[in-house]
């Protein structure tokens, strides 16, 4: 398979790559699905979009941070390039981990610190407009929408949506060829012929493993598994944990075909993050997970 598409959709007046475009599409799909499914869990759309904003901001910063750490040998001599995201270079693990932590931080602030403020505001409103009106206002406010939010149920909605979003979002990486992988003689090896493709710069017209397609198959498989675990695996939050395990295992083995910087004992950054995730997620699943028949 030969791909000769320009990695950039256009370069003027702004730069937009296929990677950036499909990342936007993938995030949009994930948010749409979460919002659609959330009604069955009685989670308000305002909650979804509030958390999503934090996830996006944290994800962008985390994706760039983890990439810069991995390529520090380059960036330490090119500090101005750290902020030039349009040059390319983000790490999906950084987006997933920091996006999740950012979203959870938003929920914590809204549920705990926000409710303290809500109580103070109710007292102020009661003195101003009366207790009945003040109570009605706060019941319809964001404070009330977050008050009874089940974080575990929300995470279980996020996991399959995230898997689908990643699957579509990675299409841009397939077109760009910016992730360098090892050469292969297999029939499905991919050749990048456009001179602006990172793979062409590294391999020329030699075929290499389509590692991003492998990862797309991994996330599509994860979605199928997670979708079939709905209503069976508990307590809330375990489906999200399961996704972490599936992705970490798959990414660990796929990473051996990628030519990223080696960190320790022949392992790359993504290998070590995968092992860390497994160290955290496997014990949680083993100790907490319960299985329930859907018929019950």
175-188 pLDDT per residue, tens: 988 888 899 999 99
**Is residue 105 located within the same domain as residue 125?**
yes
Q: How high is the pLDDT of residue 123?
A: 52
- Does 143 reside within a domain? no
**Cβ 156 vs Cβ 238: under 8 Å:** yes
Domain that holds residue 233: 1-42+150-296
**Is residue 194 located within the same domain as residue 260?**
yes
The residue out of 71, 102, 134 marking a domain boundary is 134
**Is residue 67 located within the same domain as residue 210?**
no
Q: How high is the pLDDT of residue 125?
A: 46
**Is residue 194 located within the same domain as residue 266?**
yes
Lowest mean pLDDT among 24-33, 123-132, 248-257: 123-132
**Is residue 181 located within the same domain as residue 281?**
yes
- Kindly state the percentage of the chain with pLDDT values over 70: 87
pLDDT at 291 over 80: yes
- Kindly state the percentage of the chain with pLDDT values over 90: 54
Token code pair at residue 7: 């990695």
**Is residue 157 located within the same domain as residue 289?**
yes
Token code pair at residue 222: 């994860």
How many structural domains comprise the chain? 2
What is the rounded CA–CA span in Å between residue 192 and residue 205?
A: 7
- Does 144 reside within a domain? no
Q: How high is the pLDDT of residue 88?
A: 66
What's the mean pLDDT when you consider all of the chain?
86
Between these two residues, 295 and 277, which has the higher pLDDT value?
277
Q: How high is the pLDDT of residue 273?
A: 94
**Cβ 175 vs Cβ 128: under 8 Å:** no
pLDDT band at residue 260 under the 50/70/90 scheme: confident
**Is residue 164 located within the same domain as residue 20?**
yes
**Is residue 97 located within the same domain as residue 34?**
no
Q: How high is the pLDDT of residue 124?
A: 46
**Is residue 26 located within the same domain as residue 159?**
yes
What is the rounded CA–CA span in Å between residue 96 and residue 282?
A: 18
pLDDT band at residue 221 under the 50/70/90 scheme: very high
Strand partners, 212: none
**Is residue 168 located within the same domain as residue 292?**
yes
- Does 140 reside within a domain? no
Contacts for 140-145: CB closer than 8 Å, 24+ residues apart? 142/46, 142/47, 142/50, 142/110, 142/114, 143/110, 143/114, 143/115, 143/117, 143/118, 144/118, 145/44, 145/46, 145/47
**Cβ 242 vs Cβ 159: under 8 Å:** yes
The residue out of 82, 101, 134 marking a domain boundary is 134
């Amino acid at each position: 398979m030969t791909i000769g598409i320009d990695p950039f959709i256009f370069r003027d007046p702004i730069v937009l790559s296929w990677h950036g475009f499909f990342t936007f599409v993938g995030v949009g799909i994930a948010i749409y699905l979460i919002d659609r499914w959330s009604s069955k869990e009685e989670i308000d759309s305002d909650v979804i979009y509030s958390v999503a904003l934090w996830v996006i901001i944290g994800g962008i910063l985390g994706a760039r941070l983890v990439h810069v750490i991995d390529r520090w040998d380059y960036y330490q001599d090119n500090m101005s390039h750290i902020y030039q995201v349009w040059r390319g270079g983000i790490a999906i693990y950084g987006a997933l981990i920091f996006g999740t932590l950012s979203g959870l931080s938003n929920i914590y602030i809204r549920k705990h610190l926000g409710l303290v403020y809500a109580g103070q505001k109710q007292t102020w409103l009661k003195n101003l407009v009366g207790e009945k009106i003040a109570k009605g206002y706060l019941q319809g406010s964001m404070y009330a929408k977050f008050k009874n939010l089940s974080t575990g149920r929300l995470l279980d909605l996020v996991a399959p949506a995230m898997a689908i979003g990643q699957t579509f979002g990675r299409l841009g990486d397939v077109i760009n060829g910016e992730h360098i992988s090892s050469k292969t003689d297999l029939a499905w090896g991919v050749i990048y012929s456009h001179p602006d493709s990172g793979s062409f710069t590294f391999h020329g017209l030699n075929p290499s493993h389509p590692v991003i397609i492998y990862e797309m198959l991994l996330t599509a498989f994860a979605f199928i598994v997670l979708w079939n675990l709905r209503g069976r695996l508990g307590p809330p939050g375990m489906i999200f944990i399961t996704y972490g395990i599936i992705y970490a295992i798959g990414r660990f083995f796929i990473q051996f075909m990628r030519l990223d910087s080696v960190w320790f004992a022949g392992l790359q950054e993504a290998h070590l993050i995968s092992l860390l995730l497994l160290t955290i997620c496997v014990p949680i699943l083993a100790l907490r997970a319960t299985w329930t028949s859907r018929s019950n």
